[in-house]
A and B are shown apart, each in its own frame.
Chain A
Amino acid sequence: MSNYRTLAIVLVLGVSSSAVAHEPVFSLGPETIWEGGVGIETKFEFEDARGDQLSALHYEIIYGVTSDLSLTFELPQILELEEDGETEHGLGDIEFRAKYQFFKKDLLGAQHKVSGIFGVKAPTGDDDAVPALSTGTTDFLLGVSYGYESRSWYQFLTVRYRLRTERGDLDPGDRLFIDAAIGFRPWQREYTEWDLVALLEMNVELEFDSEFRSTTLPNVGGNTVWLGPTILFSPNPQWMFKGGVQLSVYEDLNGDQEHSEFRAVFAIEFHF
């Protein structure tokens, strides 16, 4: 069953959670970029599951078609994927996402917004490697995200569904993500000044049963709840540094699987 554990870890790479501006770093939020705006982000991701480890860099570029519609392209580079003593590295599965903000209510110093999210992940990574660097499938992402941002407080609620297509005889289970975050800005800053926002993120990840030749795999799938703090720091209006750590506070995994313990993200974003 170790190959399925590998598969489960690799799929984490496909669960993109790159953020834009003040968004949770372990999820996707409703933020879009201004019309004609471009943002680039480099994100370092680390996850540990009792010895099995993943470290990866994600390169992301976002473009604002309009202020309501943003397109994102993400290229993951797996620095090291270790599983059962085997390690591998290389490019992972690329992902393209579109985010459309279909509701927005602006107030003085505050904003409510809701966006729909659509994504496609292509199997560009090496799925013959051991461990595999790709799911070998084309997967789809559907989601909706609500966000409230004010000068003092932040609230986010996002629901994402990843539809995973079949790969030969393997029918991997779909995944459902329910993400919530609250945050606050301890010091209210003016334009051109540095700015700091702290978030507390909670992510519920549900993975449905996978099947191999119509037989349910016993050691794949299950539910995990992550919880941890995130810091968003912008030294000026063009740069933002983001970092977050999370612990697995609840797990209900099927069969015999290594338990996730810890994950962390550090990202740098620049927009122009």
Chain B
Amino acid sequence: MKLVHSLLVVALSAGFIAEPGPAAVEQVSVRVDGVACPFCAYNIEKRVKTLEGVEREAQIVTSLENGTATFPWKPGVAFDPAAVRKAIREAGFTPRDLTVTVTGVIEVSSDRDAQTMLELVDEDAKLTVLVTPGARADQRASWDQMRALGLLQAAKLRVRVEGEVRADSADRPWSLILHTWAPLEYGAHVIVEIDDLACERCSTRMMQALTELAGVIHVEADHEADRVHIWTRDETPDLRMFRERIETLGFKVTHVHIDGR
């Protein structure tokens, strides 16, 4: 894991933390397979410039050697990775990984999330960690120090990113990245409906317990909907395991299912 990031921990009270909006994408770089000649690469320029987020006068920098197309993204236009991939396909090529340069806020709910984020965020990116209530104030710390302080274990962090974020082909996690943090690759999204999830402290304890289960990538609790979302590596996780683990913590599970099935 990369630990060379410049981390500025700004401990603020809840009242001073701006709500995280969608991260602003400043530049997009997409790796493209199938581009072999400059004449053919013109296809990419033509199709990419039809995107809402790309100015017609924008410079599309295509590297044949690296198989990449890089272009600026218009401020104020929501980034749509699916549209970028569609444009590449319409140009007659196959889109691969996307890398975006972003400025914005993503949320980190666990140490596992933090690790994943560090793997995706470029070394040179500037990360400003906005700590939610409960964290210690006025701390400047390295990532290791933050872990030692327990910030990454207990608190939900809001991390302001100024730099490049890489991801691969799944579209849904991409949209989540740009609004709030979520796992990038998963086999199944399990939704657990719980009778009364009002207690935030309890749910934090439950999320930690679920995160420790084998095959679990990420857990999020939705208090308003009385639901817990679990992302797993397996496509067919053992739902009974989740139910039993949650009930041992004193919650009553009303329904468990895999999203979309």
Contact = CB atoms under 8 A, between A and B. Distances in A.
B62 A108 contact: no
A192 B89 CA distance: 21
B38 A189 contact: yes
Contacts of B42: 237-238, 271
B90 A67 contact: yes
Interface string B39-50: 111110111001
A188 interface: yes
A50 to B, nearest CB: 37
A66 B50 CA distance: 15
Contact of A34 (B36, B37, B92): B92
Given A67-B91, A104-B34, A191 B41 contact: yes
A33 to B, nearest CB: 8
B47 A197 contact: no
Contacts of A237: 38-39, 41-42, 45
Dominant secondary structure of chain A at its interface with chain B: loop
Nearest to B65: A190
A22 interface: yes
Contact of B67 (A109, A193, A238): A109
Interface band, chain B: 20 to 34
B119 interface: no
A256 interface: no
A67 B67 contact: no
Interface string B84-124: 00000111111000000000000000000000000000000
Interface string A62-82: 000011100000000000000
Contacts of A33: 43, 92
Interface in A193-250: 193, 195, 197, 234, 236-238, 240
Query: Which of B38, B61, B92: most chain A Cβ within 10 A?
Result: B92
Contacts of B62: 190-191
B154 interface: no
A191 B90 contact: no
**Shortest 6 CB-CB distances between A and B: which pairs?**
A106-B34, A237-B42, A106-B33, A106-B94, A34-B43, A191-B62
